[in-house]
Amino acid sequence: MFSSNVLARLACLLALWLASSAAMAANGACTVGGCIKYYQGSSFSGSTVSSGTLTGVGAGHDLRIFYCGSPNTLVISGVTAQGGTATLASTTNNAGADYCGMAYYPNTTTSTTAVVATFTGTCTNCSIYVEEWAGDATSSVADGQNAAYVALGSGAGQNMPCGNITTATAGDTVEVAVYQVQGVAPTAPSGYLASNAVASWYGFYQTSVAAGTYNPTPTSGASSFNNFILCGGYVVAGGGPSLPAGSLNLMGVGK
């Protein structure tokens, strides 16, 4: 017969296991206009990480995709959705312990699908975060991108700059996603609103920005030591012509 102490330990282990399992995949409705739903998935082995099933994807929407994986020797080989291939951002970052980047999949069709990132190498801890947005242009939606790693001490309120992105189309949305390894929520950059927070991912956005250069800079919470910041401009429908292929002005950290 188990003692109360053993039962308490078993209950604790079960709770931890359930929490870990729940963190493997999450989804829900966004809390802001334009963002419809969000999805998050994790993987601790193999070379792929999936968002889990995206149900009821709408027609003409855009999937904004953010991913991070350790070890930092990983390299993204592709991201797929709806049987097609997402466009990878040209800027990635492999400072710190993780390799991080962005992708986008515009002009979705009505479907149920999953977003899957495939790496060269084996994940010891890989995570993907996807937002479904209405209102983005149905052709090219990328208008400047960047990625950065910021290592901090234990103090709160420290700047975490993403680095400069230059947008060329008036009326864009600029979004920054923070992958905070310790799960400590950052504060939104000045002038930005929060989109979502789930499983160490924190999203912030600003709409209807003028064409120009931006450096979204969230600030840290206490004891948030390892922070990966990904930011990009997204052309909205009716916001002006998209740039021709190859004309994006990409600046900042990357390889």
Strand duo 212-214 + 226-234: pairing: unpaired
pLDDT, residue 72, reads: 97
| Residue 21 domain-assigned (yes or no) | no
**Residue 200 covered by a domain:** yes
Where does the pLDDT of residue 229 fall: very low under 50, low under 70, confident under 90, or very high at 90 and above?
very high
Do residues 169 and 235 touch, judged by C-beta distance below 8 A? yes
The answer to the question of residue 134 being in a domain is yes
Specify if 255 maps to a domain.
no
In a domain, 84, yes or no: yes
Please give the structure tokens belonging to residue 14: 């079960």
Percentage of residues of the chain with pLDDT beyond 70: 84
The total number of residues written for the chain in this structure: 255
Does residue 38 lie in a domain region?
yes
> Does residue 16 fall inside a structural domain?
no
Q: Provide the residue range defining the domain that includes 132.
A: 26-234
The CA-CA-CA angle for residues 21, 25, 29, to 5°, reads 135
* Residue 218: both structure tokens together: 């969230």
The backbone torsions φ and ψ at residue 191, rounded to the nearest 5 degrees and listed phi first, read 85, 0
Average pLDDT over residues 100-115: 95
Tens of pLDDT, residues 183-224: 999 999 999 999 999 989 999 999 999 999 999 999 999 999
What total number of domains does the chain contain? 1
Check residue 69 and give its pLDDT: 97
pLDDT at 1 over 80: no
Region for residue 136 given its phi and psi (left: phi exceeds 0; alpha: psi -120 to 50; beta: otherwise): beta
What pLDDT does 25 receive? 59
